[in-house]
Structure 1
Amino acid sequence: MRLTSHTDYGLRVLMSLAVMNDRLVTIEELADRHRISRNHLMKVAQSLVGHGLVKGVRGRRGGLALAKAPAEIRMGQVVRTLEADVELVACLGDGAATCVFTGICRLTGALRSAMEAFFTELDRLTLADLVANRAGVGQRLALAS
């Protein structure tokens, strides 16, 4: 399984906002710090705002901030929310009818169990866990100490 760049960037934005929680952070600043396209980050930010993970403030002094405390944001839910399709193969989703082995294949159950284990592990982590080393994360973002 490979997460989309949308989800990857969404996780990075959340981590950045968690350590820069003393102020609003602009898309431009995030794009510069992560060396990511501003246009792509705009779409990611819209998604995060739309799902209630981030609040956006418009205007000259606007920017982004977390909408919840980092300890309240579970990584499994973030990935489920941002990923359009988390099914590894068609038979785990709506495409079951396209596989001739549907109903007799043991691989389906194994893959379903693997996905459940993947999300169980992510659900154990909060955003606060990811940025527990605030100094290190801040250093990587080139934040002044």
Structure 2
Amino acid sequence: MRLTLYTDYSLRLLTYVALKGDRLTTIQEIAEAYDISHNHLMKVVTELGRAGIIETVRGRGGGLRLARKPEEINIGALARRMEDDGQHVECFQAATNTCRITPSCKLKHKLREALEAYYAVLDGTTLADLVEKPQPLRRLLAIPA
């Protein structure tokens, strides 16, 4: 199983914002810290804002911060939301499935089981777990304590 870059960027952004605590941060600051696209992060911020996970403050001195406590942000739920459609193989999407062996295929059941096990591990993780020992992360990302 593989997360999309969109979900990866979401997790990185949330990690960074959580490390900042109550202090506001900017998309540009996060883009520079990770050396990733500002434009991609804009899309991520829009979706995380819609989900009520982050809040944005407009204007001079604005930025973004968590809208919930890190322990309230479940990584499995986040990954499900951020993944395009959760349909990792063609046969999971009945409307567009063209695979000829679907009616007799046993692999699709194993793939579904594996996907659920994958998400079950993520379901047991919160953003707080990811930033539990913040000093090494803060050092790598050059975030002052």
Partner of 2:57: 57
Output the CA distance in 1 between the equivalents of 2:34 and 2:60.
22
Q: 3-state DSSP class of the match of 1:56? A: strand
Output the CA distance in 1 between the equivalents of 2:27 and 2:48.
12
Output the CA distance in 1 between the equivalents of 2:72 and 2:44.
20
Which deviations, in whole Å up to 9, do the C-alpha atoms of 1:24-83 show, x marking residues without a partner? 111111111111121221111111111111111111111110111000111011111111
Output the CA distance in 2 between the equivalents of 1:88 and 1:37.
25
Which deviations, in whole Å up to 9, do the C-alpha atoms of 1:78-131 show, x marking residues without a partner? 111111132221111234641222221110110000000000000000000011
Aligned residue-pair number: 145
Partner of 2:7: 7
When the two structures are superposed, what TM-score results if normalisation uses the length of structure 2?
0.93
When the two structures are superposed, what TM-score results if normalisation uses the length of structure 1?
0.93
Q: Are the aligned partners of 1:96 and 1:102 in contact in 2 as well (CA < 8 Å)?
A: no
Q: What's the C-alpha RMSD, in Å, of the aligned pairs?
A: 1.4
Output the CA distance in 2 between the equivalents of 1:36 and 1:3.
17
Output the CA distance in 1 between the equivalents of 2:96 and 2:34.
39
Structure 1 gaps of 5+ residues are none
